[in-house]
Structure 1
């Protein structure tokens, strides 16, 4: 079996590692991959990123299964193209990918199918948005409608902060079109949880829960990032919380997918908020989360390739998804200056004697040496019988890896 993984981050490195565990897989290609994926058993990086090139490669090399990490390509319709050419691919159709590609569309979907979510208004005119802000209770949440690399959601504590965000999103257009349309949403107080899941369009199988840490600094301070660390399972996801999630969010989402005739055989990622008033859906993602994948997949006991195959073939009904006991903690190391501007090309000093697993995100290999190439450079995942043990492993390993300007939070999982 030959498998193609599309993407270049820590998420894709984790996918490559998990896919390679299957004994039937003889070759894994990662396009374009990174300095970590190419070191994995059975893996070869392929320097292509465009849909037509990826399609040609998959046809020429008779790829058995393709897994897409990139939300941009899903929104652009890569799954439709592959399906039209008889190729097996895990992911939603272009129509279904709008659940992530447009936050206004996803909020309308939630409203239509009575999925519990925060109150909201949609704006395409900055003056109308500014008028609305004068009547709001604060804090308030402002979201860019389109894709923004995990940075398009901002909590504003007062009117001045909200006006600045409107200016950034709608006037300065920092997200190159994705923030020209915005959602202003009620602020929900509580604890966030991430629940990755997989669907074949008939059933949705949830994975174990996880908890992301978005802000750059300890204590959840500073600007949002793509994610600075994750723990799994999420200690706040009690049986009562998960039961409520299934009843008020997961099941009606499946009804909506079916009623809207979405061709959806892929990952659906629920971002939820656990509040004193119940469990609310914050957003959908239509692909694996990063860095949630690096924490969740290492705990999966079931064969991942078999799971993906069942989803693509519409046969998840009889799949028994099993998990190893214990906890995981993934800590992310970032470049100095991230999520703002940062330098690249900095050599990474590695240590082969790690107890956990190192997943490369923004780093390339040059002449056998890893060098930084992105803001989030790498993550280390520790696995333990307790969350404290998993944390201890991740943080002990992090001290064994260095590069100039390396920064990581010290409170992931605390």
Structure 2
């Protein structure tokens, strides 16, 4: 059996406990650690697959730090599987959910993923190669989702849908997915979902009705026609927050000086904005109004924070703290942030508006209840 080395740093207190346990059991510390990790992972997987007092099961693909998971957990779901390749996001996910997501989903066999009711995925948008498809079309050969989506991460969503046939799915992406490659990418996505026999519904939704941030994303929701037939209807009948959140709702009163922009950076941002304004462009920093909404936070926020700055009296503006970024995305205040500020900014910039996702999750769950009830009533009538 091949053995790989893993170097682990632990606190003095934990090291002393390991040392004592090692002496008591006549094992090396390495063996003690390996035994502990093996037991923990086994117990973690068992716990992950147990469904206790939950309405439905779901899987969390391209999970990030778990924004979608929070939404579906709150809607009565139980997560039976998660996947996220970024090691820092895995760290945050583990800190908050006590589960280590699988890594690269492209390496995971679809049959190894647990059965589930709803597939949830915030899949990245990649270019879809149409060269092979065009060649097949010219030869009069049919093409399916495997030809059209192979080599993209959306393909992995498709192969899991094909293998596990969940009742429903919810996919999230940037709004530009609709116009990407002159609309061809989105057309392929809808064709692939149709081929897998799912009735798909989509809408571009702005998160500013749930958090003080202008953030447009496309949501695609689908239901299994093999289970529910062809006459499926679904509406994004959302219930926005009232009153509408504003920036002052998420701000922390006392913030460390390190979040205030240096004179050098502030001068650079002002000069940069003036240069582009003179050229007729709209590029530049953004000072968020306390009673308004902010621009869209992105993964680049860690660089200079220019898209969302907070004005300060007799000081240069400051960037948001990681906790304020979490609030800007609708994460609860008990959400743990175990990583550096740089990684935290990237993670929240890549995440979802949690309360919006929760609202959509509730609509999906209600629709499934309605359709499942209809099937049960039909079966009861047939049994009489």
With the shorter chain as reference, the TM-score category is: 0.3 to 0.5
Structure with larger Rg: 2
Q: More helix per residue: 1 or 2?
A: 2
Q: Normalization by structure 1: what TM-score? A: 0.32
Q: Normalization by structure 2: what TM-score? A: 0.34
Q: More strand per residue: 1 or 2?
A: 1
